[in-house]
Structure formats: C-alpha cells, structure tokens
C-alpha cells in the first residue's frame, strides 16, 4: 500500500459485552457468553446453546432508534456509534464511507411477519418487512452516522466483515476516501438456527474449537466496526493510533458449497498472500485469531493450513468463538476489534474448553489469557461458505 491505513477507533457488541471495555473484561477474565435461547420461541430452545447479546430489541430501540427496525441494524448502529465516538473524529470534515457486512439482514422481523400474513393477508405489519434486504441495515447505520458518501454492503458469508475492511483499506489507499467505518453486524434468527441445524453442524453443548472431540459450532450474534483513516487524516487530526492494517488477502478454494477443502487450500493461500502483502515472515506473527468454528471440517482444514504455513514457528493461536459463538457475517468485524485489543493491551486470548489436540495437526492453542507479552503483529482469519477465505494482519504502530 502507498501509505499506512490506521485504526483510529473500534466498537463492538456481542454475547460477552456491550462495549469494547466490557468485552475486554470478559476476555481477560475468561467469561464466555453462550447460553440458552431467550429472545424468541424456537423448537431448539433449551437444546441448542447460542451467544445472545444481552439487550432485547425493545431496549436497543429505546436507546438507539425510535422507529421499528431490524435487530441486525440496531446492533450495527450500537457498535458503529462506539467506533466513531472512540475515534474522536468529526466525520463531516472528511470524505467518509461506510462498508458494512451482514448475512442475516432483516430476517428477524420478516420471519415474525409471515406466519400471520400467510394465514390472513390482512394481518401482519408491513413495516416488519421493508428492511428485509441486507443492504437496508447498512443504509440505516449510514443514516444514523449521517454518512451519505460511499455506502456499501458485503455478503460473502462468514468472511464478509474482513472483506469489508479490505475494501475500505483499498479505497483509502487509492485516494478515493479519507475515512471508512468498516465491519459487520448479524442477529440471531430462527431461520439461521434452523438452517445451520439442517447442516448438522450445531453442537448441543458448548462448542470446543480446535479440540479433537469438537462436535460443531454455537451460533452467536453481534456487531464489530473499526474506523480506518489515512496518513493525512491521522496527521491532520493529531491522532494517536495503536495499530494499522499491514496486509490482507482473499482467496477461494472452490471446493464445496459449505465445506472447506480438506487440505485447506483457500485458507493457506489467504494467509500466505497476507504475509506477502505485509512484508512479514511467519516468525513475525505474534498471535493468530483463528476462524475456529468448532466443526469437524473447518478446524481440521484451517489447522492443516496453519501447520503447513507456520510449521514449528507457529505463534499462540486461539478461537474466540468459544466466547461469543459464531457471529457469521459479523465475526470478522468483532474479531478485528479483538485483534486491535491484543495489540493495544499486549495480550493473547484463550481457547476455552480445549482438552485434546487434533491428531492430524497437533496444534495446542492458547489455554489462558496472557498479558505483558510482545504483540506486534496479529493475524485474523475469517473463512466463509462457498470457499471464500480472508485473512488480515494488524500491526503495532
């Protein structure tokens, strides 16, 4: 890149906290947020654990937005507001864009509308479906932040948020924008839970990423955004930033609609190309935030790729989805915030509930929260359905 793309602010909401501060406290004290479904009725209530945000739609609406809008939008507004506030920037001074990722969109309201409507076409509130499209959540976040320049939505499954950050970084690098708020938001819905359950990849117990006895993932929800700024903005505003985007890459292993290639072709290529772009060697990476969903296929594929690339120089690794659940399109944004925290606080996060290494790869992840160590370069992986694989490296200023 021509100049550095700095991270000037961060905002997050998930099952383990409603702010960056609360989130870090949960990570530090190893408090996970996965429990029973409480936000809606489901045949899986009390059976499938999930990572719910501890706010109801009503409380989010009262705090953020008077009009009835989707939970996906509300979570995104919450995190994006915190990110902008923490940056201290006056967005009106700069060419500002918003790039938000989502896979769920407005399904949470749509699925409540249709049962009554299908019974009687005069029933149901149309206001519950007007925000169904994925792009509507982005438009609502942009309206709240008063961003009317470049506004875009990315949906590439679970790699969506990292791809949003990548696009934002490229647009700043090419001189098209000065500031970009980038990340993603997704809410839990009955449709999502039923869909993933049909794939038989949900664990009825708490998930165990990267463990030999893993049995599937736990779904979660939330939003995570970071504020990206150019060198020009940083200098003009006198910003003190903790880290910058050093490199990134997106690949596709073109193997299967939902499964990763067994040898991890896409994930290996994404990590390898990210290192090449950043000008770093494998021994320079101090921590890897794994995609680590807890499914048989994903963890073996990703572990195989990590082992192939890093060999005996593998740094501390962990999957923070054991804390939050898999937040789908929001995961890359939430875990980008975790990566920023790892650099800011000079720490690495634990892989909860790990007991036995996967025999084929033999990787033992980080077992406890550790602070006071040197963390200069953090890699974060996000790999999605359809073989869409993205990696990104954040580096200390």
Active-site choice (44, 131, 291, 377): 291
Residues 6+ apart with CB under 8 A from 232: 178
What gap in Å lies between CA 159 and CA 391, rounded to an integer?
Answer: 9
Nearest to 381 by CA among 311, 305, 324, 313: 305
Task: Count CB-CB contacts under 10 A for residue 245.
Answer: 27
Which uninterrupted H or E stretch holds 310? helix 296-310
Residues 6+ apart with CB under 8 A from 195: none
DSSP lists the bridge partners of residue 7 as: 228, 243
244 contacts 4 by C-beta, under 8 angstroms: yes
Residues 6+ apart with CB under 8 A from 116: 123, 124
Q: Is 158 a catalytic residue?
A: yes
104 contacts 328 by C-beta, under 8 angstroms: yes
DSSP lists the bridge partners of residue 247 as: 393
Q: What is the end-to-end Cα distance of the chain in Å, rounded?
A: 15
Active-site choice (44, 78, 326, 377): 326
Active-site choice (158, 207, 347, 389): 158
The residue whose two tokens read 């999502």 is 192
Q: Is 131 a catalytic residue?
A: no
228 contacts 179 by C-beta, under 8 angstroms: yes
Nearest to 241 by CA among 252, 250, 229: 229
Residues annotated catalytic, as ranges: 158, 291, 326
């Amino acid at each position: 890149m021509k100049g550095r793309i700095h991270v000037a602010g961060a905002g997050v909401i998930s099952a383990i906290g409603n702010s960056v501060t609360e989130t870090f406290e949960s990570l530090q004290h190893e408090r996970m947020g996965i429990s029973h479904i409480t936000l809606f009725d489901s045949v899986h209530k009390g059976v499938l654990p999930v990572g719910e945000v501890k706010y109801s739609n009503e409380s989010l609406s009262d705090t953020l937005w008077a009009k009835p809008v989707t939970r996906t939008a509300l979570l995104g507004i919450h995190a994006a507001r915190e990110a902008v506030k923490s940056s201290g920037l006056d967005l009106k001074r700069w060419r500002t864009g918003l790039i938000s990722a989502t896979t769920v969109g407005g399904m949470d309201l749509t699925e409540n509308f249709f049962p009554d409507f299908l019974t009687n076409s005069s029933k149901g509130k149309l206001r519950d479906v007007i925000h169904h499209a994925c792009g509507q959540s982005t438009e609502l976040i942009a309206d709240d932040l008063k961003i009317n320049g470049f506004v875009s939505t990315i949906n590439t499954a679970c790699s969506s948020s990292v791809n949003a950050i990548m696009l934002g970084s490229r647009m700043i690098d090419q001189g098209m924008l000065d500031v970009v708020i980038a990340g993603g938001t997704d809410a839990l819905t009955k449709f999502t839970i039923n869909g993933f359950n049909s794939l038989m990849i949900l664990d009825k117990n708490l998930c165990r990423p990267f463990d030999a006895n893993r049995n599937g993932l736990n779904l979660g929800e939330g939003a995570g955004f970071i504020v990206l700024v150019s060198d020009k903005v940083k200098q003009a505003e006198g910003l003190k930033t903790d880290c910058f985007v050093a490199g990134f890459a997106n690949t596709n292993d073109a193997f299967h609609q939902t499964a990763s290639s067994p040898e991890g072709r896409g994930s290996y290529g994404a990590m390898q190309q990210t290192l090449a772009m950043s000008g770093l060697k494998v021994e320079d990476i101090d921590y890897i935030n794994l995609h680590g969903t807890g499914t048989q296929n994903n963890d073996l594929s990703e572990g195989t790729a990590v082992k192939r690339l890093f060999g005996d120089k593998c740094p501390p690794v962990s999957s923070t989805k054991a804390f939050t659940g898999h937040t789908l399109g929001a995961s890359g944004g939430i875990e980008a915030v975790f990566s920023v925290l790892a650099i800011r606080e000079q720490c690495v996060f634990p892989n909860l509930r790990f007991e036995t290494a996967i025999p084929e790869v033999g990787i033992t992840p980080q077992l406890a929260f550790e602070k006071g160590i040197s963390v200069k370069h953090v890699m974060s992986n996000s790999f999605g359905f359809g073989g869409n694989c993205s990696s990104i490296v954040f580096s200390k200023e």
